[in-house]
Amino acid sequence: MAAYAERAVRKLTQQDLLYESLRRAILDGDIGCGTRLASSRALAEQLGIARNSVLYAYERLVEEGFVSATRHGSVVNAVKLATGATGTNGTMHRIRTVGADPANGASSREPKPPPHEAEAPLLSRRARALPPRRPSHAGPTALRPGTPALDAFPLAQWRSAVERASRDVRASDLGYGDSAGLPELRQAIAQYVRVSRGVRCQPEQVFVTDGTQTSLDLCARLFADAGERVWIENPGYLGARVAFAAAALQLVPIAVDAAGMAASAQDWQTQPPRLVYLTPSHQYPLGCVLSLERRLAMLDAARACGAWIVEDDYDSELRHDGPPLPSIQGLADDAPVIYLGTFSKTLFPALRLGFMIVPPGVAAQIATAHRTLARQGRVTEQLALADFIESGRYARHLRRMRKLYEERRDGLVAAIGKHLQGILTISADAGGMHLSVRLDAPLADVDVSHAARAHGLFLSPLSAFCMDAAAAHYNGFLLGYAETSPAAADTLMQTLARVVHECLRAQ
């Protein structure tokens, strides 16, 4: 039987594999209604397996209603066939030699292929419109932005914090906790951002999430209705575009210049937003900083039209050249700002912990809605993180990482100047874990990025972060340096120079 080829892969017993094979054949219509299956003794002999294995498979089919045990043997019942029935791996399954007698009603028809997506789409329009994304573990990782220096993470200290937290966990902590997060972590986050970022908040305004992407999804669902406008930076963070588009919001791209999002008075009058998404302390991907003048103007305009500002402060603590500007949220008591933070950049992505700080006037309403939409877990990790922050180890870790990232940034800048002079121009390098560079060669950034993958380089083309016609004005790359030593940066830039010259010769 052809289906037995799966046994080595899935490690099924003979009886389970026979049961699945017969069940699939019945569902696919290969064994028709009224077919009398071969006797257990005959089928066991034909397949070279124990008779008990056949009896087990037949009994399961009887229990599930696929087969009836009669005086004349096991007979297939009438089963409503699903059009285009598929197996667990999404492919059509066939089974022909199972001891059934075609003269007794076995179907000879071939299963119908799955319906074409245009005729019967399986996913919603919103889901089908989502941009494809490669698995994070696939392809090259050199120069990939967004991942911190995991080799420099104080794993021993974190392991100790987790072990202490595990000892403190009680049986009562294992149930469904507060959906907003553990009180200890909310308190620790509130105290930390008040000091480090000038955020005005109390613990009850803090909502622990699975990271920035979850926070953005909550903002889209809790603060706006389908069809309402959301302003996004252009170019801007793809994750924000995905979250807002998935919530059926109307995306309005607003241009970015050297001082951040450049919204005009006409923009506010002709297409007033419900949400304004900003990365003001380190614009993603260009790296510019939203000026204080624009921050204050943004607050005034948002109040006037009843809009919410979503402030994504993803890596401001990693600024190298002087302290970052205070958060927009902290500029006024009544600021209509939802402040987002994440530990994926400052600690490690697998932690999957971030937070959302909402204005005090809506905190109680958000708490009620959040309890309906979300559940919390990872008690040990939350307790460990609270301890890590309160003990001062988190602040010490950030100081070490700022110094390390500054060294790695300087190494990459030097390597670009050495090997790519006149080809790449650095646009911003004041902080974070990546550089934004302009490609001055007469090549498309997307083409160079594609060619670089064959050489083990991950280049994020700037044009991919743009909407509409803005892509024509941005031709360059986002180069991550957090995991790249100065020596490695020199080698990588040599490789990139070769890639660029190969692309030029191929024109």
Domains delineated in the chain: 14-76 (1.10.10.10), 152-395 (3.40.640.10), 402-506 (3.90.1150.10)
Residue 95 pLDDT greater than 80, yes or no = no
Pairing of strands 229-234, 250-257: parallel
Q: Which two tokens stand for residue 442?
A: 């007469």
Give the whole-angstrom CA distance, residue 341 versus residue 351.
13
Q: Which two tokens stand for residue 60?
A: 């399961």
Percent of the chain with pLDDT over 90: 67
DSSP letter at 323 equals P
**CA torsion, ordered 100, 105, 111, 115, to nearest 10 deg:** -150
pLDDT of amino acid 428: 77
C-alpha 363 chain-centroid distance: 26
114-120-122 Cα angle (round to 5): 80
pLDDT band at 103 (very low <50, low <70, confident <90, very high): very low
The secondary structure element, H or E, covering residue 446 is helix 445-453
47-48-51 Cα angle (round to 5): 90
Element counts in the chain: helices (H) and strands (E): 16, 14
Q: What is the pLDDT of residues 127-161, one digit of tens each?
A: 887 777 766 656 678 999 999 999 999 999 999 99
SS3 478: strand
Q: Which two tokens stand for residue 401?
A: 């990482």
Q: Please, are residues 12 and 6 in contact by the beta-carbon 8 Å criterion?
A: yes
Q: Which two tokens stand for residue 224?
A: 């706006």
Number of Cβ atoms within 10 Å of the Cβ of 195: 9
pLDDT of amino acid 136: 61
Q: Which two tokens stand for residue 196?
A: 């480090």
pLDDT band at 306 (very low <50, low <70, confident <90, very high): very high
